[in-house]
Amino acid sequence: MRRVLVTGASGFIGRALVGYLAERGYAVRAASRKPLVARDDVQPVTAPDLAGSPNWKPLLDGVDVVVHAAAIAHAEAADEAELALVNHRAVAALAEAARGTVERLIFLSSIRAQSGSCAAGTLTEADEPRPSDAYGRAKLAAEQALAGSHVPFVTVRPVLVAGAQPSGNLAALLRLAGLKLPLPMGAFTARRSLVDREDLCAAIAHVLVDPAHLGETYIAAHPEPIDIAAMLAALREGLNRGPGLFAVPAPLTRSALSLPGMGEMRAKLLGDLVASPAKLMKTGWEPRWAPRIALARIGAAALG
């Protein structure tokens, strides 16, 4: 039985990944700063403080593979110094501790290590990384530290991840979709790539064993992007409601989004962020959940 350490085990992705791997026969050591409920196939352990000087050695004893999902999420808006500590230097310390100890370290990075909140064309792993904020820069620095660590590694860059009880941008869209009034967003046609959380777990499991994945970086996304208006309509579908969207003239939209402090929101609502999963799919990974279905599932979960 392969023994896997999952860090960030209580997080949005980590808690789903722990169950996904355990159900597939892995012996999972689940590291978290928050208390976890023990089960027969999962060993909960306390994670070190990533903003300090984390001692990873005790967690690595007897482990075959590490999946590092612990991080400050982009939506949590930490300052650059804290992001550098947690999302970069703690990863470098983990790689140092894991060298000569584990068979591979799978690092859950982000598409934001590669791009800002919008990008022209379709992103691939061959594009030069151009992060635009502290979060993306820290993730890219962690990728570079890992690549130079001499630890067998795989880097996975997920796009926007869809799953029940979302946080950040998807949580904001879900709240918007839940409003009992029409929304003036029918003309928001900016396209976004998305990956269902279950499909991301499958991607991580997919790169966990085969030696062909070592040293590779993969984008995790569904091959079909979805526009902002369709995202809202899909969430409302899951909430058992009609789309309720109407379009306003483009000049009015641009004017409203030009107000002070709206720069990031403007980019997210008016700019594309499309990424290709072709490299990972060529190795045999196949996402199951199209974006519309994945979002409708979020809406349905919110109904309870």
Domains belonging to the chain, first-starting first, are 3-163+195-221+276-282 (3.40.50.720)
Q: Of 90, 81, 87, 139, which Cα lies nearest the Cα of 114?
A: 139
Kindly state the average pLDDT of the residues 132-152: 96
* Better pLDDT: 281 or 255: 281
Instruction: For the beta carbon of residue 129, count every other beta carbon within 10 angstroms.
Output: 18
What pLDDT sits at residue 36?
77
Residues 223-231 have a mean pLDDT of: 96
Mean pLDDT over residues 34-50, rounded?
85
46-55 contact pairs (CB < 8 A, 24+)? 47/7, 47/8, 47/9, 50/85, 50/86, 50/90, 51/82, 51/85, 51/86, 51/90, 53/93, 54/90, 54/93, 54/94, 55/97
Closest CA to 107 of 53, 57, 157, 149: 157
pLDDT over 80 (residue 200): yes
Pick the more confident residue, 210 or 269.
Answer: 210
Distances (CA, A) of 4 to 41, 60, 84: 11, 9, 26
Please check the confidence at residue 37 and state whether its pLDDT lies above 80.
no
Q: Which residues pair with 161 in a beta bridge?
A: 195
pLDDT confidence bin for 261, thresholds 50/70/90: very low
For the cut 70, the answer to whether the pLDDT of residue 75 exceeds it is no
Is the pLDDT confidence value at 263 over 50?
no
pLDDT (mean) for 4-25:
96
Q: What is the pLDDT of residue 253?
A: 56
User: Is 32 buried (19+), middle (13-18) or exposed (0-12) by CB count in 10 A?
Assistant: buried
